[in-house]
Amino acid sequence: MKSLNTKAFVGLLFLLLVMAAMLFGPAWTLEFWQAWAFLSVFGGSASAITLYLMKNDPRLLERRVYAGPAAEKEMSQKIIQTITSTAFVAIMVISALDHRFAWSTVPLPLAIAGDFLVALGFLIIFFVYKANTFASATIELCPWQKLISTGLYARVLHPMYMGALIMLLGIPLSLGSWWGLFGFLIFMPAGIWRIFEEEKLLVSNLPGYSDHQKEVNHRLLPFIW
């Protein structure tokens, strides 16, 4: 357990350092208050969730630690994860370059709203973890997995992706960049592709999921899709 906790925190620290490098490197300055604010919100939110999982659901923490293209078994998922990872990098690098060369300007209230969206995205993800101990970072089913239809799952079929979508939309805004939204547009088709692939697996292998699909009419956003 100590090894898992150490791995989780070291992984988070490494991610934050890489994110800082992707922001302050292309921006070529540390005088980038939007980046400092974003990293504080992102790091604080991710740390809080990690601590919660350490105490309350170490099995889920283990499922979340192993992530990324290499952790996926299917080639389609490796491709999807590669695209989404590229989109995440693009959001930050383009936003940092935007700050350096002043390609666009986001009003202060909207930048603050971007940080709020990042925090909101993490909050949604937290409620997903709280309701669904099977929320693996990869598309797979545990032998003892059961259908989760309570909480946010009673509103949308894929609340985890809803939270991620809100967070990714907030990142370029929090960094003061309109051009950073280009990375968000890269993420969207890959995210939708992943949703359809995951649904195929769940319909075929998770008892009750087909009926759950009929009861919950929205995949990602309530009243929209």
**pLDDT digit string (tens) for 160-193?**
999 999 999 999 999 999 999 999 999 999 989 9
Higher pLDDT, 147 or 96: 96
Question: What value, to the nearest 5°, has the Cα angle with vertex 112 and ends 111 and 117?
Answer: 95
What confidence score (pLDDT) does residue 68 get? 66
CB 115 within 8 A of CB 33: no
pLDDT at 141 over 80: no
Q: Calculate helix-pair angle for 108-131, 159-174, nearest 10 degrees.
A: 160
What confidence score (pLDDT) does residue 40 get? 97
Question: What value, to the nearest 5°, has the Cα angle with vertex 169 and ends 164 and 171?
Answer: 95
Which runs of consecutive H residues, i.e. helices, occur in 57-74? 58-65
What confidence score (pLDDT) does residue 111 get? 97
DSSP one-letter code for 156: -
How confident is the prediction for the chain on average, in pLDDT?
90
Q: What are the angstrom distances between the C-alpha of 175 and each of 35, 54, 109? A: 6, 30, 12
pLDDT band (50, 70, 90) for residue 219: confident
**pLDDT digit string (tens) for 55-92?**
998 888 887 877 667 767 778 888 988 999 999 999 99
Backbone angles phi, psi at 28, to 5 degrees: 60, 35
Token pair of 87, please?
A: 């989109």
